[in-house]
């Protein structure tokens, strides 16, 4: 994979640092559906409501739905499955709610449907909010608030929603939220599902960094130079971590395209990537965080040395 100059430089620094729906209407101890079976059962039920659509299972809990006119949307069933497994709600109720949400999407204009299919979650540093707000207000007397939707993830990071078109990335503002007329939680799920499908399509993976020191355990997550850092909050990334490591890991993402990972018990490797992120952060464009984090089961916790 060819890396851009900035990422190649960052990498060189790292190297230098050496079942059917009717048959199972409610979960029981004898007939609890696996993720794959749950997804298969949902597809079977959804086909009854979207007769002109084509369904493709893209993961254990992810589906691509192509409607008439070749409009493709990604569906993530993770939250639905959690409701099934944790709350012991019936499949009938869960599928009914999820299909109702899908129908609300299907009633949108073609332009809005297209934009929904292009929706992505984007991770930014908290200071991004302050910087953009200051730029907006620097030449006027009014105090205009930050114009785009965002959600605070922790003290250092925020989540934005973006429409990724072939020519630009447009952040979702309040007007666009009103135009979609969908719950924010649903929009976030759609954005996450879109990113999951995209990462799988391009084959985003963790690659071990070859160093002279053969004991090195440093890996780099490589996707498309844009969504590496945002992918850290996805189920896809969590699955990559679990397939590569046997326990918790430490990671850094100093900018949007650079994610380095090591086993949490590799103190030397963890210190290396932490120092790299801290020193290179001011020099990188689209920077995200200078800090190192513990990552376990999809949850981040800042590491304080």
Q: Is the pLDDT of residue 77 over 70?
A: yes
**Nearest C-alpha neighbor of 241 from the set 214, 263, 272, 211:** 263
What is the Cα–Cα distance from 198 to 66, expressed in whole angstroms? 15
Question: Residue 120's pLDDT is what?
Answer: 96
pLDDT higher at 19 or 216:
216
Question: Residue 186's pLDDT is what?
Answer: 87
Question: Residue 173's pLDDT is what?
Answer: 93
Question: Residue 111's pLDDT is what?
Answer: 87
Q: Where are the alpha helices (DSSP H) in the chain?
A: 5-16, 35-49, 78-86, 91-106, 110-117, 126-137, 174-180, 184-202, 228-231, 235-244, 267-280
What is the Cα–Cα distance from 28 to 18, expressed in whole angstroms? 52
Q: Is 71 helix (H, G, I), strand (E, B) or coil?
A: strand
Sign of CA dihedral 72, 78, 80, 84: positive
Question: Residue 212's pLDDT is what?
Answer: 67
Q: Look over the chain and give the mean of its residue pLDDT values, rounded to a whole number.
A: 86
Buried b (16+ CB within 10 A) or exposed e, 143-164: eeebebbbeeeeebbbbbbbbb
Question: Residue 59's pLDDT is what?
Answer: 83
Q: Is 183 helix (H, G, I), strand (E, B) or coil?
A: coil
What is the Cα–Cα distance from 61 to 81, expressed in whole angstroms? 8
Phi, psi of 26 (to 5 degrees): -155, 150
8-17, 88-97, 250-259: least confidently modelled range:
8-17
Question: Residue 36's pLDDT is what?
Answer: 93
Residues 6+ positions from 70 with CB-CB distance below 8 Å: none
Read off the pLDDT band of 240 (50, 70, 90): very high
Q: Is the pLDDT of residue 22 over 90?
A: no
Sign of CA dihedral 194, 195, 196, 201: positive
Span 249-262, average pLDDT: 97
| DSSP letter assigned to residue 128 | H
What is the Cα–Cα distance from 74 to 39, expressed in whole angstroms? 13
Question: Residue 26's pLDDT is what?
Answer: 38
Of 77-91, 96-110, 164-178, highest mean pLDDT: 164-178
Pairing of the two strands 169-171 and 157-164:
antiparallel
For the chain, how long is the longest CA-to-CA vector? 67
What is the Cα–Cα distance from 200 to 108, expressed in whole angstroms? 27
Distance of CA 8 to the CA centre of its chain: 24
117-153 residue pLDDT tens: 899 999 999 999 999 898 888 866 678 889 999 999 9
CB atoms within 10 A of CB 190: 24
Chain position carrying tokens 């590491």: 303
């Amino acid at each position: 994979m060819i890396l851009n100059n900035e990422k190649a430089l960052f990498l060189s620094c790292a190297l230098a640092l050496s079942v059917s729906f009717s048959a199972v209407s409610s979960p029981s101890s004898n007939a609890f559906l696996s993720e794959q079976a749950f997804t298969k059962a949902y597809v079977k039920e959804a086909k009854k409501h979207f007769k002109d659509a084509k369904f493709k299972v893209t993961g254990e809990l992810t589906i691509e739905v192509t409607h008439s006119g070749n409009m493709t949307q990604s569906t993530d069933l993770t939250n639905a499955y959690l409701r099934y497994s944790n709350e012991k709600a019936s499949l009938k109720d869960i599928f009914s709610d999820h299909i109702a949400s899908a129908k609300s999407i299907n009633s949108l204009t073609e332009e809005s449907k297209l934009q929904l299919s292009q929706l992505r979650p984007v991770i930014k540093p908290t200071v991004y909010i302050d910087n953009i707000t200051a730029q907006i207000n620097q030449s006027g007397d009014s105090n205009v608030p930050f114009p785009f939707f965002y959600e605070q993830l922790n003290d250092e990071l925020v989540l934005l929603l973006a429409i990724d078109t072939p020519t630009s990335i447009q952040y979702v503002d309040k007007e666009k939220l009103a135009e979609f007329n969908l719950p924010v939680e649903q929009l976030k799920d759609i954005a996450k599902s879109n990113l999951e499908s995209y990462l799988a399509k391009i084959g985003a993976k963790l690659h071990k960094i070859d160093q002279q020191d053969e004991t090195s355990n440093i890996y780099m997550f490589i996707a498309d130079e844009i969504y590496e850092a945002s992918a850290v909050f996805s189920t896809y990334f969590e699955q990559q971590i679990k397939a590569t490591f046997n326990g918790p890991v430490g990671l850094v993402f100093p900018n949007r395209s650079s994610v380095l990972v090591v086993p949490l018990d590799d103190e030397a490797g963890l210190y290396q990537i932490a120092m790299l992120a801290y020193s290179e952060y001011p020099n990188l464009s689209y920077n995200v965080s200078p800090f190192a984090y513990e990552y376990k089961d999809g949850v981040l916790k800042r590491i304080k040395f």
